[in-house]
Amino acid sequence: MSISVISLRSAIFPRTTALNNALFITSGTLFIAAMARIALPVPGSPIPVTGQTLAVLLIGTSYGATLGATTVLMYLLVGIAGAPVFAHGAHGLARLTGATGGYLIGMLVASIIVGALAGRKWDQRIMTALPTMLLGNVVIFSFGLIWLFAHSDKGWSWTISAGLTPFIIGEIFKVAIAGTSLPIVWRFVQK
C-alpha cells in the first residue's frame, strides 16, 4: 500500500508492510472504541459526550489520511457488525442511521482532512496543529448537526442546544490536547 503523506506513523516505523498497517488499524480501532467508552449522557440530548472525537483527531493526524480513514471506517464497520464499540457499548446499523449517525460519518471525513493536513506537516507546530484540530471538530459537528436536525424533526434552536452547546467546553479541551501533544511528540521523534 502506498502512502503519499509523511505521518508520525511512518516516521516511527519507516517500512510500511501489510502487517504493520493491520496492527495500526486494529490498535487504532480499539483506541477509538476505548475512548467511546468514556461517555457521559447529556440531559435533553440524544448525543453523549465521548472521547471519540479526540481519538479520531489523534488517529487521523498520526496515521495520515489513508490509514487514518481506513481505521475510522473499520471502527464504524465493526460497530455496525455488532461489536459494542460505540458510546455506552452500543452497536448496530441503528447508530449510524440514528441521531448520532452524522457525528460518526463526520469523524470519518474529519480523519481524512486532518490526516491530509498532517501530510503537509501541519501537525508539527502548535500554530498549525491547533487550527487543524479545530477544523476536524468543525467537520464532525457540521455533519452531526445537519444529521441531527434532519433526524429529529425539531428546529435549529433545539439542534444547536442539544447537539453543540453542551459540547463546546469539552471540545476546546480536546482540541488543546490534540493540538499541543502532537507537536511535542514530533519534537521528540525528530531528535
d(CA 171, CA 49): 9
pLDDT bucket at 3, cuts 50 / 70 / 90: very low
Predicted pLDDT of residue 122: 84
Write down the pTM of the prediction. 0.87
Grid coordinates 482532512 are at which residue? 113
Predicted pLDDT of residue 8: 57
Question: What tens digit of pLDDT does each residue of 4-53 get?
Answer: 444 555 555 556 688 888 999 999 999 999 999 999 999 999 999 999 99
Q: What is the pLDDT of residues 130-187, one digit of tens each?
A: 999 999 999 999 999 999 999 998 999 999 999 999 999 999 999 998 888 877 776 6
Three-state DSSP class for 85?
coil
pLDDT at 181: 82
Written as one letter, the residue type at 30 is: L
Give which of 176, 152, 173 is closest to 163, Cα–Cα: 152
| Neighbour count for residue 41 (Cβ, 10 Å) | 12
| Beta-ladder partners of 11 | none
- Going by pLDDT thresholds of 50, 70 and 90, the confidence category of residue 2 is very low
Per residue in 84-105, pLDDT (tens digit) is 999 989 999 998 899 999 999 9
Comparison of pLDDT for 25 and 125, the residue scoring more = 25
State whether CATH 1.10.1760.20 applies to domain 8-190.
yes
Per-residue pLDDT band at 126 (split at 50, 70, 90): confident
